Amino acid sequence: MTMQASPESETRESETSTLVEAPEEAADTTAPEVDQGMPAVVPDDAPKAYRLKSRQREAVETILPPLALGAALIGLWYYIAYGVLDETRRFLMRPPHQVLEVGFLDSENISDQLNALWSSTQVALIGLLIAICIGIFLATVMSQAKIVERAVFPFMVTLQAIPILAIVPLIGFWWGYGRTSRLVVCVIISLFPIIVNTLFGLLSAERAMHDLFTLHRANRLTRLRKLMFPAALPAVFAGLRISAGLSVIGAIVGDFFFGRGEAGIGQLLRRYANNLNGEELLASVILSSALGIVVFWVFGWLQTLIIGKWHDSRQV
Amino acid sequence: MKTATQNAAVAFDDIGMTFPDGTEALRNVTLSISKGEFVTIVGPSGCGKSTLLRIASGLLEPTAGTVEVDRQRLGYVFQDATLLPWRTVRQNIELLAELHGIDAAERHSLSEAAIELVGLVGFENHYPKSLSGGMKMRTSLARTLTLKPPLFLFDEPFGAVDEITREHLNDETQLLFKSEGFAGLFITHSISEAVFMSTSVLVMSSRPGRLVERFEVPFSYPRNPDIRFEPDFALLSGEISKALRGSHS
């Protein structure tokens, strides 16, 4: 009865030199055990039943709490719209069904918003791409020469510490008030996590692994390609997920200040607020956060796709 | 002086090592190991055993004395398996051959042979995260075997696995030694491991590390795991243990 463990766990735990045969052994011993009679029946089923139950329970426990909280928040939303605000001030917070009707189901409004959202998405993604290129390049150079790291790092921290509002006039002054400036904002906001995480990742390979490469006379490039880059990947992805979210924020913030040319979702938000279009405003806010969530999720998915096979990353 | 060490796979001549912080790790270590010899150094932790291996491999320069060794194809088995987690068992085993510029076809046949030798058939495409400690160590051994090194340096490689696994790995290592005929320098603090695998056991004292006593192990290869329970084995282990205690006080 003790052999009922799955073949996989059997092979992992078994340490003998007959390891290869272990899965078959486990399978073989299961059959006669069941034949031996009644006592085997209950323990045989019990773990499976237990597992099934707990999996269902786990699913319920994962899905139910956010659903409940979501419902509660919508309830609160209705309460504020009808219970707190009187008729004349209800434009401040339209109830959910009106937001849905005016903001999402009105074809003109939704196409305006989706166009603007698409424009912002492009800015966010191009900005992120530029930040990735610059970030990984800088981190790689820093990992190769301590002196570069010492020289560059303080400036990176400074760049990170500058409130974006403080340099908005400067960015407008240098790059105008259109798309280029929006991209610049995006890059500045999303660059830092990429640099820091990539550098941390590149330096994360164990000393013994470096010794191994040293012993076998690997040159700098080989070491970088076969040891440091792959070792950096988990940290790089952690940085990417943060930066991806930031790049969406960057694109929207950039929109607020540099609205010339194609309107982004930030521009639209501003226009709706100015015109007291409460429904559209809330709809746009929801769409913006949806974009952030999608981008974050896409990078999480990419991470699993690329390094999930070998790396145990606990992800949300 | 050189004549005695001419056939040696590794020859330490009066090695001394003092670290920049003033710690004297090794003093007057003279030792040479030839093909067909499996020498184990036992000693308390922190006595400088690993330092000696790092010196042999060239990772560390001694502050006194000279070491002669052909570092072209050096086998170094680390304390941890040091597998690259993003590579499968086979890709890990082929790493060293890759670093030495061996072409893909030959790499494949080398890894194939090594996988067979350490009993990892069927696990070629597993990633390290799904392997047990013992299997990781086997992968590490196989990786080193692909280079067919004339000299194997073992830096307490089986310290992190459980007792049963360790005995299996000891058994496999002495069989490899018998079949491959390399020169071995093994570091451990387990006396039974030392006696079971080696042709000679050296006792190292601590701070600074010096080789204080040498014991020849008379058993022939391949060794039966049951010799661990024979009186001669126990007697020799006892003597080594006594020497170790003497060196420690």
- Average pLDDT, stretch B211-229? 85
pLDDT at B172: 86
Question: Has residue B73 got a pLDDT over 90?
Answer: no
Question: Which residues on chain A are in Cβ contact (under 8 Å) with B129?
Answer: 310-312
Which pLDDT value is given to residue A86? Answer: 87
Q: What is the mean pLDDT of residues A257-273?
A: 87
pLDDT digits (tens, 9 = 90+) for B151-184: 999 998 888 888 888 888 888 888 888 888 888 9
Q: Which residues of A touch B165 (CB under 8 A)?
A: 15
- What are the domain boundaries of chain A? 2-79, 96-307
In chain A, what residues touch B85 (CB-CB under 8 Å)? Answer: 310-311
Using a CB–CB cut-off of 8 Å, the residues of A that contact B are 12-17, 19-20, 206, 208-209, 211-218, 222, 226-227, 230-231, 233, 307, 309-312
Give the pTM. Answer: 0.78
Bridge partners (DSSP) listed for residue B18: B24
CB contact (8 A) between residue A212 and residue B82: yes
Judged by CB atoms closer than 8 Å, whether chains meet at B86 and A311 is answered as: yes
DSSP structural state of residue B126: -
Residue A262: the pLDDT is: 83
Q: Shortest Cα distance from B176 to chain A (angstroms)?
A: 14
pLDDT-derived band of residue A18, with 50, 70 and 90 as boundaries?
Answer: very low
The pLDDT value recorded for residue B118 is 84
Res B5: pLDDT:
47
**Interface touch A216/B100, C-beta < 8 Å:** yes
Model confidence at A13, pLDDT cuts 50, 70, 90, reads very low
Q: How far is A26 from chain B (nearest CA, A)?
A: 16
Q: Which CATH architecture has domain A96-307?
A: Orthogonal Bundle (1.10)
Q: What is the pLDDT of residue A41?
A: 41
CB contact under 8 A, A209 and B82: yes
B123 to chain A, closest Cα gap in Å? 8
Residue B56 makes CB contacts below 8 A (sequence gap 6+) with B10, B12, B67, B69, B153, B185
Q: Which member of A13, A16, A208 has the closest CB to residue B78?
A: A208
CB within 8 Å: B168 and A212: no
pLDDT band at A50 (very low <50, low <70, confident <90, very high): low
Instruction: Name residue B214's beta-bridge partners.
Output: B202
Cα separation, B152 vs B38, in Å, equals 9
More confident residue, A194 or B222: A194
Residues A235/A254, Cβ–Cβ less than 8 Å:
no
Candidates A307, A310, A312, partner chain B, best to mutate (most B CBs within 10 A): A310
At A69 the pLDDT is 95
- Mean pLDDT within A281-286: 91
* Confidence at residue A17, expressed as pLDDT on a 0 to 100 scale: 40
Model confidence band, residue A49 (pLDDT cutoffs 50, 70, 90): low
Smallest Cα distance from B27 to chain A, Å? 24
Nearest in space to B185 (alpha carbons), one of B84, B91, B56, B60: B56
Band (A14; pLDDT cuts 50, 70, 90): very low
Q: What is the mean pLDDT of residues B21-44?
A: 88
Q: What value does the mean pLDDT take over residues B131-145?
A: 89
Q: Which of A190, A60, A182 is nearest to A122 (CA)?
A: A182
Share of chain A above pLDDT 70, in %: 82
Greater pLDDT, A1 or B37: B37
CB-CB: which of B82, B130, B165 is closest to A206? B82
Q: Which residues of A touch B58 (CB under 8 A)?
A: 215
Q: Give mean pLDDT, residues B96-123.
A: 89
Asked if B82 and A208 come within 8 Å (Cβ–Cβ), the reply is yes
pLDDT above 70 for B33: yes
Whole-number Å distance between alpha carbons of B225 and A45: 40
Model confidence at B48, in pLDDT bands (50, 70, 90)?
confident
| Tens digit of each residue's pLDDT (9 = 90 or more) over A164-203 | 888 888 999 999 998 899 999 999 999 999 999 999 999 9
State how far residue B134 is from chain A, nearest Cα, in angstroms.
6
Q: What is the dihedral of CA A8, A13, A16, A17, to 10 degrees?
A: 40
**Mean pLDDT of the residues in chain A:** 81
Q: Are B197 and B236 in contact (CB under 8 A)?
A: no
Q: How many CB pairs under 8 A join A and B?
A: 73
CA closest to A228 among chain B residues: B84
Amino acid A285: pLDDT: 92
Whether the predicted pLDDT of B196 surpasses 70: yes
Contact assessment for residue B201 and residue B217, using Cβ atoms and an 8 Å cutoff: yes
Smallest CA–CA distance, residue A147 to chain B, in Å, is: 23
Min Cα separation B194/chain A (Å): 21
For A262, residues 6+ apart whose C-beta sits below 8 A from its C-beta are: A119, A179
Question: What is the per-residue pLDDT for A240?
Answer: 93
Please check whether residue A190 is in contact with residue A246, taking contact to mean a CB–CB distance below 8 angstroms: yes
Identify any residues that bridge with B155 across adjacent strands, giving them in sequence order: B187
Hey, are the CB atoms on A230 and B86 less than 8 Å from each other? yes
The mean pLDDT value for A74-79 works out to 93
Say which residue, B49 or A140, is predicted with more confidence. A140
Residue A15: its chain B contacts at CB < 8 A? 132, 134, 161-162, 164-165, 168
- Minimal CA–CA distance to A191: which of A229, A146, A239? A239
This complex has an ipTM of 0.87
**Between B78, B119, B131, which is nearest A20 by CB?**
B119
Residue A28 pLDDT more than 80?
Answer: no
- Give the amino acid at A293: I
Q: For the CA atoms of A44, A46, A47, A50, what is the dihedral angle to 10 degrees?
A: 160
| pLDDT-based confidence at residue B6 (cuts at 50, 70, 90) | low
> Looking at CA atoms only, how far is residue B155 from chain A in angstroms?
11
Cβ of A230 within 8 Å of Cβ of B82? The answer is: no
Whether A48 has a pLDDT exceeding 80, the answer reads: no
Q: What is the mean pLDDT of residues B140-146?
A: 90
pLDDT of B44 strictly over 90: no
Q: Give residue B210's pLDDT.
A: 84
Looking at residue B40, its pLDDT comes to 93
Amino acid, single-letter form, for residue A175: W
Mutate which of A10, A13, A19, A305 to test chain B, going by most B C-beta atoms within 10 A?
A19
Is residue A220 scored above 50 in pLDDT?
Answer: yes
Q: Could you report the per-residue pLDDT of A105-122, keeping only the tens digit for each?
A: 888 888 999 999 999 999
Where in chain B are all domains bearing CATH 3.40.50.300? 1-22+34-70+150-249
- Per the listing, tokens 């080398």 go with B110
CA-based nearest distance B124→chain A, Å = 11
Report chain B's mean pLDDT, rounded to a whole number.
86
pLDDT per residue as tens digits for the range B199-209 = 999 999 887 88
Lowest mean pLDDT among A13-17, A49-53, B182-186: A13-17
Tell me what the mean pLDDT of segment A69-74 comes to: 94
List CB contacts (< 8 A) between B132 and chain A: 12-15
**Domain B1-22+34-70+150-249 architecture:** 3-Layer(aba) Sandwich (3.40)
Q: Is the pLDDT of residue A1 over 60?
A: no
Count CB neighbours of A201 within 10 A. 23
Residue B86: pLDDT band by 50, 70, 90 thresholds?
A: very high
- Which residue in B80, B121, B168 is closest to A16 by CB distance? B168
Residue of chain A whose Cα is closest to the Cα of B115 = A20
